């Protein structure tokens, strides 16, 4: 909610990435991934509504998509690393496309035409020319950033259970500690 409030660029990568990691870990450690992820989704939606009602409706749609898609994906694909990679990339791309769709629906085609004209103007100022669709380049770069973030997050998630198991071994206390009372 705070990131939405202060409108940081690429907040969808941070918020969505954290949600994707948490959903994947719930699915990994649950006996019934589908049911566990859906229960967590409904709790998150209720808490999100209570704590940050100022979040845009699209944020709730993104959370719902991630929850349902994660539940479905982790309950059908048995290879956790592949499921995590697919989930992260698709989850973040959904967030990116949702923002682009919202911009298009709210501002219409004139927004994209304005971006094209602005990029052509900037190119002219710096001594070049740009006759292409500047907005398509901008959208492509935007989607590329979200895709790369999804791949990085997906690879991170795929290795996270093993890293957690290794950390648990390093941090575990001896089992035979006897407590003496005086």
| pLDDT digit string (tens) for the chain, length 182 residues | 565 566 666 777 888 899 999 999 999 999 999 999 999 999 999 998 898 888 778 888 888 999 999 999 999 999 999 999 999 999 999 988 887 787 777 777 777 777 777 777 777 777 777 666 777 888 888 899 999 999 999 999 999 999 998 888 888 666 665 565 65
- Two structure tokens written together for 118: 């602005």
pTM: 0.77
Q: For residue 88, what pLDDT is reported?
A: 96
Distance CA 115, CA 164 (A): 45
Taken in order 103, 104, 110, 113, is the CA torsion positive or negative? positive
Helices (H), the chain: 2-6, 11-29, 33-51, 57-76, 80-107, 109-125, 134-171
């Amino acid at each position: 909610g705070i990131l939405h409030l202060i409108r940081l660029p690429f907040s969808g990568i941070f918020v969505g990435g954290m949600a994707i990691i948490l959903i994947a870990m719930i699915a990994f450690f649950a006996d019934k991934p589908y049911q566990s992820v859906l229960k967590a989704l409904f709790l998150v939606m209720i808490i999100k509504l209570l704590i940050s009602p100022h979040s845009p409706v699209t944020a709730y749609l993104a959370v719902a998509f991630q929850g349902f898609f994660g539940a479905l994906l982790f309950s059908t694909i048995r290879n956790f690393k592949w499921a995590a990679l697919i989930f992260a990339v698709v989850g973040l791309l959904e967030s990116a496309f949702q923002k682009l769709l919202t911009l298009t629906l709210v501002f219409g085609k004139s927004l994209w035409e304005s971006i094209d004209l602005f990029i052509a103007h900037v190119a002219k100022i710096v001594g070049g020319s740009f006759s292409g669709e500047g907005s398509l380049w901008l959208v492509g770069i935007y989607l590329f950033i979200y895709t790369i973030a999804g791949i990085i997050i997906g690879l991170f998630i795929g290795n996270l259970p093993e890293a957690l198991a290794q950390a648990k071994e390093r941090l575990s206390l001896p089992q035979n500690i006897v407590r003496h009372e005086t």
